[in-house]
């Protein structure tokens, strides 16, 4: 399977759909009905209320939407990574890795506000990278800020992805206070129109525009199964990181900066779930996007492909065993 997705074959897009569908088949047979938490924004509450009548008679609608989000995120991010030339050749390993990574953790396959946030970040991160030689950076910076502002209506802590935009500006652009202010203006624009709408409809409450933000420690319940999941996530990460660092000398300056931003992306996604953190592991699905690049590098750069093939099939076997024995 790894060997197949190493090739840039258009048929792999259809093969990926079947591959991901087989990995996530039990989520369709035992559909999970999502529930919003205080960390989620009002648009996610509205989405769940809209889907509730359908979900009562056909709960499969939730895993269907979740899988379509995951599949489109995988395919889109794979294409964008190819355009940014973070790998030495076009391939489908990033998409394969994303589908595999999300299958390792059950909560990462549920319809959630953070899963919707991933779709926004798949769009936003490549545009941060494109700031390196962009002719009209202010429009792109404003659009990124605008997307993050709208995204916070689904998942409130996504406002802190502005930190990633700031880091991107520091890495790719000479310092310009105007560009920073444009990003802040883009972030504030959705809240301006929301406040205007609430004022005109006599529903204005400051708590809506200024949501409560708190640092919380979500409860964890580690066991052997979770230790295995973490190992299967970390081993390809470290191997992929090693291969990327070893090949930095052959990379263009722009690609090196993209790799640096990717590392900060991973760091932000690992820390963000502690903001308004609540019980559940679904918030760490944000890290699956940058993780997929490192996993893909592990599968692509390995000289002895049978080792990474073995690592891949161990992950698949573990996912199947968890389904069979119902382990979380």
What number of residues does the chain have?
Answer: 328
10 Å CB burial of residue 296 (0-12, 13-18, 19+) is buried
- Distance, CA of 21 to CA of 299 (rounded, Å): 21
Nearest to 115 by CA among 149, 148, 73, 77: 73
- Distance, CA of 216 to CA of 77 (rounded, Å): 30
DSSP 40: B
Instruction: Per residue of the chain (328 residues), give pLDDT as tens.
Output: 676 787 777 788 889 999 999 999 888 888 888 887 777 888 888 899 999 998 888 899 999 999 999 999 999 999 888 877 777 777 889 999 999 999 999 889 999 889 999 999 998 888 888 888 777 788 889 999 999 988 888 888 888 888 899 998 888 888 888 888 998 998 889 888 887 777 777 666 655 555 556 556 666 677 888 888 999 999 999 999 998 888 777 777 888 888 888 999 999 998 888 776 666 788 889 999 999 999 999 888 877 777 888 888 999 999 988 887 765 5
- Distance, CA of 114 to CA of 68 (rounded, Å): 15
User: Which residue matches tokens 């006599």?
Assistant: 202
């Amino acid at each position: 399977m790894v060997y197949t997705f190493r090739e840039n074959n258009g048929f792999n897009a259809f093969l990926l759909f079947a591959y991901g569908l087989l990995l996530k088949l039990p989520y369709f047979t035992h559909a999970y009905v999502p529930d919003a938490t205080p960390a989620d924004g009002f648009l996610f509450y509205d989405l769940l209320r809209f889907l509730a009548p359908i979900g009562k008679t056909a709960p499969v609608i939730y895993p269907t939407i979740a899988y379509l989000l995951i599949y489109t995120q995988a395919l889109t991010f794979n294409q964008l990574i190819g355009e940014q030339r973070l790998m030495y050749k076009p391939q489908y390993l990033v998409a394969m890795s994303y589908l595999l990574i999300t299958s390792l953790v059950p909560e990462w396959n549920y319809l959630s506000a953070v899963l919707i946030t991933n779709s926004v970040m798949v769009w936003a991160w490549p545009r941060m990278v494109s700031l390196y030689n962009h002719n009209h950076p202010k429009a792109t910076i404003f659009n990124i800020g605008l997307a993050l502002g709208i995204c916070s209506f689904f998942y409130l802590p996504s406002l802190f992805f502005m930190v990633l935009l700031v880091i991107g500006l520091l890495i790719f652009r000479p310092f310009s206070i105007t560009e920073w202010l444009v990003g802040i203006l883009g972030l504030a624009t959705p809240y301006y129109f929301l406040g205007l709408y609430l004022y005109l409809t006599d529903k204005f409450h400051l708590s809506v525009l200024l949501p409560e933000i708190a640092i919380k420690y979500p409860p964890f319940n580690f066991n052997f199964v979770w230790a295995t999941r973490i190992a299967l996530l970390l081993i390809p990460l470290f191997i992929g990181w090693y291969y990327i660092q070893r090949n930095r000398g052959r990379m263009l300056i722009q690609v090196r900066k993209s790799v640096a931003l990717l590392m900060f992306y991973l760091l932000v996604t690992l820390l963000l779930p502690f903001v308004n953190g609540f019980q559940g592991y679904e918030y760490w699905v944000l890290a699956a996007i940058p993780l997929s690049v490192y996993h893909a590098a592990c599968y692509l750069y390995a000289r002895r492909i049978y080792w990474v093939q073995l690592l891949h099939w161990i992950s698949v076997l573990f996912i199947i065993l968890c389904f069979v024995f119902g382990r979380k």
